Each structure stands twice: as structure tokens, then as C-alpha cells.
Amino acid sequence: MKILMFDTEYFWYKTFKKTLENVDDIKKEEKIENTAVFFIHVESKDEDRKNKVINRTVRNLRWYLNKIDKNIVVLHSFAHLSSNKSSPEFAMEVFKVVKEKLEKRGIKVHVTPFGYFYEFSIHVRGESLAKVFQEI
């Protein structure tokens, strides 16, 4: 798994085009302010180590949230960080479990609809920790 972590003033997105046939038709536009945004790429090798990947992801996301003092997050599937991709079904399951685990810890979680291209705008803060890459 690969994750780009951003400390943002805001993240705005709008669904543009559906890319997977088996997902619901969703037209959504949302702006989340003062949030951490995680662009997440789930890889095929993660399928053999699901629990480890999920637990390490949650631990890394919580570490980042503590560093930037935030408790609102956006999880965004971003399958452009590697050519090695998991199945869409596996990636959706990972997102679901990560969301549940974060919410159990009192974190407000937004998840962009899976299986879409997006228009988006992001205002990333300037501090060093405002942009972090993690490979799990």
C-alpha cells in the first residue's frame, strides 16, 4: 500500500465519470475543510497480508493525525501511485475496515465514492509535515 498524506485547508471534489460498472451511480460534490487527506493506493501484494496492512495503515494515519492535530479525514482511492493494483473488491474492503477502525477512535471519516474519476481541488498547508508519503 502506498499513501500520500496531506494537511489541508480544504479538499473539494465532484464525481466526474464512473470507472467501474459494479458500483452505484453517484453524483456527489463535497468540500471538507481543515482536514487530513489520504490518497491511498492498495496493491495486489496487500491481498496476502490484509490484517497487517490494515493495522499498519490505521496506525500510520493516527500517527499523522496526532502530528498535525486533526480528527477529520478524507480517504481517497488514488490508483496512480503504482502500476501494481489490487482487485477493486479488495481495495473497497480495505477502505471499509480502515474507516470503521478510525471511527471507533472518534475520528470523523469521509470517503470519496470508489470507482470514479473526479474533479478535485486541494489546498495543502506549507509546513514540512503537510506532505508525507508512506509505503506499507
Q: Could you report the per-residue pLDDT of 7-62, keeping only the tens digit for each?
A: 999 999 999 999 998 888 999 999 999 999 999 999 999 999 999 999 999 999 99
Q: What's the average model confidence in pLDDT over 77-90?
A: 86
Read off the CATH number of the domain in which 51 is found: 3.50.80.10
3-class SS at 105? coil
Q: What is the pLDDT of residues 108-130, one digit of tens each?
A: 999 999 999 999 999 999 998 99
Angle between helices 88-104 and 50-68 (to 10 degrees): 50
Name residues whose C-beta falls within 8 Å of residue 30's C-beta, 6 or more positions apart in sequence: 12, 13, 14, 110
Rg (CA), the chain: 14
Higher-confidence residue: 83 or 94? 94
Total domains in the chain come to: 1
Domain that holds residue 92: 2-135
Write down the pTM of the prediction. 0.93
**Residue 81 above 80 pLDDT?**
no
Burial class (CB in 10 A: 0-12, 13-18, 19+), 120: middle
